[in-house]
Structures are given as C-alpha cells and as structure tokens.
C-alpha cells in the first residue's frame, strides 16, 4: 500500500526529503504549496554549494559538512567550456538544465531567486574566481537585491598575471554590503586608497592576502571597527605594530587580529608596551587560533612573547608575537583548560623563526 508523503508526521516528512536526491526534492517542491513548505523545512539545516558560471550556467550541489547555520555557497568561475561545469558527476547535484525546467525561467536572477526562496534559512556566500571588473559588477547586480550577502571571497585565477587596481577599488567600495570579505587581489605600487576620505570598514571578518596597499595608517583609520582582521604576507615593522596595539587598547571592535612582522625586529619594544597594558600577565602555554580558517594550536611561547591583558570593559585577550607573526584574540584557552593537551608540532617551527633587532643588523654592517 502506498502512503502519501503528507500523511506522515512532519519530522518523518523532513527525514524522507533529506534523504532524497536533489532532483526529486526540487521536483517535489513544485507540486504544491504544502510540498514546497515541506522541502523548505527539510533543507533548513543542510548545506549547499551553488556554482554559477559567469556565462550563466548553474550547478547546485548538496554537501555533507555540518554547521550551526545552513549555507548557500555560490561559486562563480570562468570556465572555458560549457561541459566543464558537469565534470564532477554527483547524484546530489542539480545541473542548469534541470533548474531551468523546474523553475520555468532561465535568467540567473530568476533561478537564484527561486533557490533562495526554497533555501530561505541559509547564509549566502559568493566565491568569485575571476578578476574581471565586469563580472564582479554583474554578480552584485544579480545577488545583492535577492538576499543579504554574508561572505564575498574573490580569488585570483592561478594563471592571472595582471594587477587588479581597478577591481580592488571597486571591491573596497561595493563589497561593504557583505559581512565577510576574503581576497588575494594584488595591486601595483602606484595603487592608493585614501583613508582620510573613506568611511571605516565594519566587516565581521576581513582577510587580505598580500594586500601591500594596506599601510599602518589604513589599519588605524579603516580597520578598527572590524571584528576580525587577517593580513598575511604583508610585513610591518614592530614600531608600526606597537602603534596598532596602542590604538586597539584605547578603543576598537577587533576581537581577532593577525599581522606579519618584517625581518628587522625590536622585540623589546612590543614586550615593554604590552607589559604596561592593564592586567598584563605572561603566558607560556596557550591554545590559540593564530591562522584564519584553521583549527587552534596549542603553543609553547618563549618568555615575554605572550601576555593575557584586560580591556577597559573587562574582556580578557591574549596578545602574542611569535616569530614572524603578531596578533591578539579573545578566544583562547590557558591553564587547567589545556592540561593534558600536547603542544602542536608547529609551535617549534614558529619559534624557530629567530628574532632580529637593529643592533644585530648594525653589527653585521
């Protein structure tokens, strides 16, 4: 005997839909308002990647990883051939032809509106693997009116050889609509962004790999209202880092910060500064996340390179400078919380990056 899906309790309906392939689930959603609602409820805690080719091709794929919030990850890639988007056959994938037939439309905007309506409780992430200014503009025109963008990630194609001055300027103006910005765009030495004439950023996370246009003054004037700042592969002098730490101590929304130190270092400068921070306590071992988008490490710090300090609101932070890295975070574990945890092997590698100071450099001369 066949029993209709809607005759089952709602939790059973959700379980059935969750185990369906995407084609069947999407087809079910088009049958009636009730089945549409059932599919919505079933998808609310699942994760999806939506790959969108810049030539207008879609591929929706259900992915197995689990987060507290579901996320719709839209990846935009410049493919050379139409068939490239189907090169990974997957029973849970939903190619463009199927989407077009189910939705009854073919424009990227209308297809995306349908998907976002069906997957309404999701975070929208745009991954743009293109350095085309026109592509970036078109992408925002499609997705910005549909749903709040949680994250924009702009990645240079591996074979890209040109600089991205124009796109960088556009991203700095238009990507403010997102909560998170991650990119590795490169600029020429002539590129400049006037920190005196532009509003400060307010990203939850901003990560700019090798963003050499970002000076100390940009950080002091534009980045202090962000919650997390990662600037790998950009070297700053310890004197500049000291100014950043002092400004942060006086008042900033940054909760996690990572920056690179140049080879010419003045370790005593940073140590003596942080020792004067309220509640400064030396820490030898801590579990801390020193890299963006990676698991925390248990690190043995050298003497006078890691301190727990207290902000004016009572929040405790860990401030560290280990080898070529400097940073601070309010998310860390020390003492009894990490008793029994082994030090991460990377701790030795980070500490092996010996400190340099100006006096040693002068002796070499």
| DSSP calls for 5-34 | GGGS-HHHHHHHHHTS-HHHHHHHHTT-HH
SS3 content of the chain, % helix, strand, coil (to 5): 35, 25, 40
> Are 75 and 127 spatial neighbours (Cβ–Cβ below 8 Å)?
yes
Tokens 């000291």 -> residue: 242
Regions of the chain short of the pLDDT cut 50 = 1, 80-83, 85-86, 89, 354-365
Q: Which residues pair with 61 in a beta bridge?
A: 49, 93
Residue appearing with tokens 């994250």: 151
Spatial CA neighbour of 322 closest among 283, 295, 292, 358: 283
Q: Which pLDDT score is estimated for 365?
A: 44
Q: How far is CA 362 from the centre of its chain?
A: 41
The helix or strand, by DSSP H or E, that contains position 47, with its residue range, turns out to be strand 47-53
pLDDT of residue 294: 80
User: At 263, is the secondary structure helix, strand, or coil?
Assistant: coil
Contact 220, 191 (CB under 8 A): no
Left (φ > 0), alpha (ψ -120 to 50) or beta: where does 210 sit?
left
How does DSSP classify residue 336?
A: G
pLDDT digits (tens, 9 = 90+) for 122-146: 778 888 888 889 889 888 888 888 7
Pair 320, 301: CB distance under 8 Å: yes
Say which DSSP state 176 is in.
G
Report H helices in the chain: 10-18, 22-29, 33-43, 96-103, 108-118, 133-143, 165-174, 216-218, 238-250, 267-275, 346-352, 358-364
Give the CA angle between residues 99, 62, 79 to the nearest 5°.
60
Enumerate the domain spans of the chain.
Answer: 5-262, 263-365
Give the pLDDT score at 69: 62
């Amino acid at each position: 005997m066949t029993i209709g899906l809607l005759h089952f309790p709602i939790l059973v309906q959700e379980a059935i839909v969750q185990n369906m392939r995407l084609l069947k689930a999407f087809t079910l959603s088009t049958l009636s308002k009730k089945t549409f609602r059932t599919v919505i409820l079933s998808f609310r805690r699942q994760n999806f990647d939506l790959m969108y080719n810049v030539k207008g091709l879609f591929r929706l794929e259900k992915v197995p990883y689990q987060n507290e919030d579901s996320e719709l990850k839209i990846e935009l890639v410049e493919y050379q051939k139409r068939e490239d988007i189907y090169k990974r056959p997957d029973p849970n994938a939903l190619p463009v032809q199927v989407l077009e037939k189910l939705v009854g439309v073919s424009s990227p905007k209308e297809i995306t509106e349908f998907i976002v309506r069906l997957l309404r409780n999701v975070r929208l992430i745009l991954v743009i693997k293109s350095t085309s200014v026109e592509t970036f503009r078109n992408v925002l025109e499609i997705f910005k009116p549909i749903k709040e963008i949680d994250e924009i990630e702009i990645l240079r194609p591996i074979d890209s050889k040109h600089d991205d001055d124009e796109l960088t300027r556009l991203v700095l103006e238009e990507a403010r609509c997102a909560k998170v910005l991650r990119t590795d765009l490169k600029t020429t030495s002539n590129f400049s962004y006037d920190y005196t004439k532009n509003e400060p950023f307010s990203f939850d996370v901003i990560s700019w790999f090798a963003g050499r246009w970002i000076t100390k003054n940009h950080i002091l004037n534009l980045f202090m209202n962000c919650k997390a700042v990662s600037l790998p592969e950009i070297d700053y002098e310890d004197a500049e880092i000291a100014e950043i730490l002092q400004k942060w101590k006086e008042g900033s929304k940054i909760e996690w910060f990572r920056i690179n130190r140049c080879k010419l270092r003045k370790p005593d400068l940073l140590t003596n500064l942080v020792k004067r921070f309220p509640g400064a306590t030396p820490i030898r071992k801590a579990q801390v996340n020193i890299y963006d988008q990676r698991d925390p490490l248990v690190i043995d710090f050298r003497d006078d390179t890691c301190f727990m300090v207290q902000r004016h609101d009572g929040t405790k932070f860990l401030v560290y400078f280990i080898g070529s890295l400097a940073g601070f975070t309010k998310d860390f574990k020390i003492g009894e919380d990490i008793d029994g945890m082994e030090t991460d092997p990377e701790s030795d590698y980070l500490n092996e990056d010996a400190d340099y100071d100006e006096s040693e450099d002068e002796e070499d001369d």
